[in-house]
Amino acid sequence: MAKLTLNDLNKMREAPKRAPDIRVLVCGGTACESSRSDQIFENLKAECKACGIGEKVQVIKTGCFGFCEKGPIVKTLPDESFYVEVKPEDAKEIVEKHLKGGQQVERLLYKGEGSKTITSVEDIPFYKKQMRVVLRNCGVINPEDINEYIDNGGYKALSKVLFEISPDQVIEELKKSGIRGRGGAGFPTWMKWNFSKGVEDSPKYIVCNADEGDPGAYMDRSTLEGDPHSVLEAMTIAGRTIGANSGFIYIRAEYPLAIHRLEVAIGQSRALGLMGKDILGSGFDFDIELRLGAGAFVCGEETALLASVQGQRGMPKPRPPFPAVKGLWAKPTVINNVETWASIPEIIMKGGEWFAGIGTEKSKGTKVFALTGKISNSGLVEVPMGTTLREIVYEIGGGCPNGKKFKAVQTGGPSGGVITADYLDTPIDYEHLQQLGSIMGSGGMIVMDEDDCMVDIAKFYLGFTVDESCGKCAPCRIGGRHLLNYLNKISDGKATTEDIAKLREISGAMQRASLCALGQTAPNPVISTLKYFEKEYLAHIHDHTCPAGKCKRLIQYSINAEKCIGCSMCARRCPANCITQTVDTSKKKPPYAIDSQACLKCGECFTACKFGAVARK
């Protein structure tokens, strides 16, 4: 492939294309691929060929549609039919009945409320309130074909930055847009860029933080899998703006598909001259390399990430100096997260004012959330800032499944906190979440229902941060361990009220004295669960009960002799062999009883009993 000039690129975009009559989009995100969407893709292609409509129909594999709950997903264009939970063997019917015969396959269409079949994407409640800026190309284009990205307006922003506007104008546009870093802290992006631009030093570097470590969040992964070029384009724009000629994408090794798609995208960009020497004949050079993370949560912190890119242990450093001034190899470095990067080409093309028109006063644009946990429609959701939690949890997410009662939603992962039902009408933006004791974080949003114990949740997150603490500073290394010990004491029913005071004291010390954000925010799950659910903590301490029935040490299983019919189902399932038949001569089949000393509290008997005779307290 020859390297393109600006003229070639424009011609390429304007060239008339013979559009296929029908486009069939198959989700190729990680979740759908693990449900064999690649086989669906192959089968659809083969069936189209077999039916003689191979010429008319184009089948492509796209990035994530976001509606992971209902995957694998197949969408057809132009009629916008939305097929859910498709199996490879359904391909034949889709091709013969729909693509050839012109009739939708009704049984595969998404069913809305009251099992009403929904024939078009726009009527699906999951998508109604969403606005796709970052995910604009996910589920729309084939991420492994640069031509599709270009046809969809890709690399226009780069052309504009290279040939039409000055670096100062780029920064001005970002300033007008009001975009703030989507990695968690929400620092204004234009300021970072401007700092680096102003430093007289070379070389300078551009870094993409794709070390998505928050357990329960996968926005960045899906963006990279569905639209890798948007990140490459944005990084090149930043390079031009601050005067950097090389960039690094630091990505988790646990994301093989995203790595593969990035490698393909980088290869295609280089081949077309959109990356490398003299991009589009502008005289500007820029190249991007990948660096793999190795499973350390702290590497999401920018100074730790930079240490890791340099091949060292990922330990944070005190700031200042900030990376914008002294970053990679002590040179000025602009580091942004995937979602921030993916927004930038749109801001350049549509203008800062357009972006600033979306969202709230201080939080502009859209935000992608990974909505998971006890929620009917789990998936990726992109909404304008200022959307309320209620809209996300109920209108988009469909509420908690199985008729369970909503208890709380956790945002910001291990660095965030819980938000209860009382605050569901809060508009989501950086400030409001902080006021509630949580944070925006990278965008994990985990819904919990009545069966989830808040002490257990705090324990889970503390277990995580203790495990992930790099050990450099004492408040985080020692404080976290102590918090976890106290939480364990509480969930074992061995704590006293003073231990709650200790939890608060240590949390405060960690917030004030830790070196980096990991330690400073690690107590947040404890503080916020204590704030909203202190009663639940006290129930563990005073009554030795776990109201949600989760903390094993506090649960007691027993068999109601009246209800037990002596079928022996529970005894056969008990792994500890601690359920035995009683000697009750009045009954033909005497009831069973549990030896509570030997009981492992595994709950096997509870689920095994069909007569409701096993009680859990």
Partner 1 sequence: MAAVTEDVKLTDELTRFIGEWQGKPGNLIMILHKVQEEYGYIPRPVAIQISKELDVPLAKMYGVITFYHFFKLKKPGKNKISVCLGTACYLKGGEDLINELENLLGVGVNTVTEDGLFSVEAVRCVGCCGLAPVLTVNGEVYGKLKKAQLPEIIAKYRNN
Residues 436, 426: contact at Cβ < 8 Å? yes
Among 109, 107, 50, 46, residue whose Cα is nearest residue 74: 109
Check residue 312 for interaction with partner 1 (CB under 8 A). yes
Residue 451 Cα to chain centre, angstroms:
23
- From 179, 232, 242, 309, residue interacting with partner 1 (rule: CB under 8 A): 309
Query: Any idea what DSSP says for residue 404?
Result: P
Residues 6 or more apart whose CB falls under 8 angstroms from that of 484 comprise 459, 462, 463, 466
Full DSSP string of 20-82: -SEEEEEE-SHHHHHTTHHHHHHHHHHHHHHTT-TTTEEEEEES--S-GGG-S-EEEETTTEE
Smallest gap from Cβ 513 to partner 1, in A, equals 23
Check residue 452 for interaction with partner 1 (CB under 8 A). yes
Of 90-98, 374-382, 563-571, 588-596: span binding partner 1 (CB under 8 A): 374-382
User: Cα angle at 424 between 419 and 428, to 5 degrees?
Assistant: 80
Smallest gap from Cβ 499 to partner 1, in A, equals 24
Please, which residue, 409 or 564, has the CB nearer to partner 1? 409
Give, rounded to a whole angstrom, the gap between the first and last alpha carbons of the chain: 70
For residues 568 to 587, the per-residue mask of contacts with partner 1, x marking binding by CB under 8 A and - elsewhere, is -------x------------
- From 22, 84, 275, 370, residue interacting with partner 1 (rule: CB under 8 A): 370
Check residue 549 for interaction with partner 1 (CB under 8 A). no
Please, which residue, 67 or 486, has the CB nearer to partner 1? 67
Query: Any idea what DSSP says for residue 236?
Result: H
Rg, C-alpha atoms of the chain: 27
Smallest gap from Cβ 452 to partner 1, in A, equals 6
Smallest gap from Cβ 299 to partner 1, in A, equals 9
Residues 66, 380: contact at Cβ < 8 Å? yes
Strands (E), 255-308: 287-292
Position 416, amino acid: G
Check residue 470 for interaction with partner 1 (CB under 8 A). yes
**Residue 16 CB burial class (10 angstroms; 0-12, 13-18, ≥19):** exposed
- From 444, 479, 480, 591, residue interacting with partner 1 (rule: CB under 8 A): 444
Check residue 611 for interaction with partner 1 (CB under 8 A). no
Residues 6 or more apart whose CB falls under 8 angstroms from that of 256 comprise none
Smallest gap from Cβ 108 to partner 1, in A, equals 18
Site for partner 1 in 18-37 (CB under 8 A): 30-31, 33-35
Residues 390, 424: contact at Cβ < 8 Å? yes
Please, which residue, 359 or 399, has the CB nearer to partner 1? 399
Among 418, 436, 414, residue whose Cα is nearest residue 427: 436
Check residue 440 for interaction with partner 1 (CB under 8 A). no
Smallest gap from Cβ 50 to partner 1, in A, equals 29
Of 6-14, 64-72, 134-142, 165-173: span binding partner 1 (CB under 8 A): 64-72
Check residue 460 for interaction with partner 1 (CB under 8 A). yes
Residues 199, 330: contact at Cβ < 8 Å? no
Check residue 337 for interaction with partner 1 (CB under 8 A). no
- Distance between CA 364 and CA 445 in Å, rounded? 19
- Distance between CA 483 and CA 481 in Å, rounded? 6
Smallest gap from Cβ 474 to partner 1, in A, equals 18
Smallest gap from Cβ 329 to partner 1, in A, equals 7
- From 209, 378, 420, 529, residue interacting with partner 1 (rule: CB under 8 A): 378
Please, which residue, 370 or 393, has the CB nearer to partner 1? 370
Check residue 221 for interaction with partner 1 (CB under 8 A). yes
**Residue 346 CB burial class (10 angstroms; 0-12, 13-18, ≥19):** buried
- From 47, 211, 214, 302, residue interacting with partner 1 (rule: CB under 8 A): 214
- From 19, 128, 163, 294, residue interacting with partner 1 (rule: CB under 8 A): 294
Site for partner 1 in 393-422 (CB under 8 A): 410, 413
Q: By the criterion CB under 8 A, which residues form the site for partner 1?
A: 30-31, 33-35, 68-69, 71, 212-218, 221, 253-256, 291-297, 308-314, 329, 370, 372-374, 378-379, 410, 413, 444, 446, 448, 452, 460-461, 464, 470, 575, 602
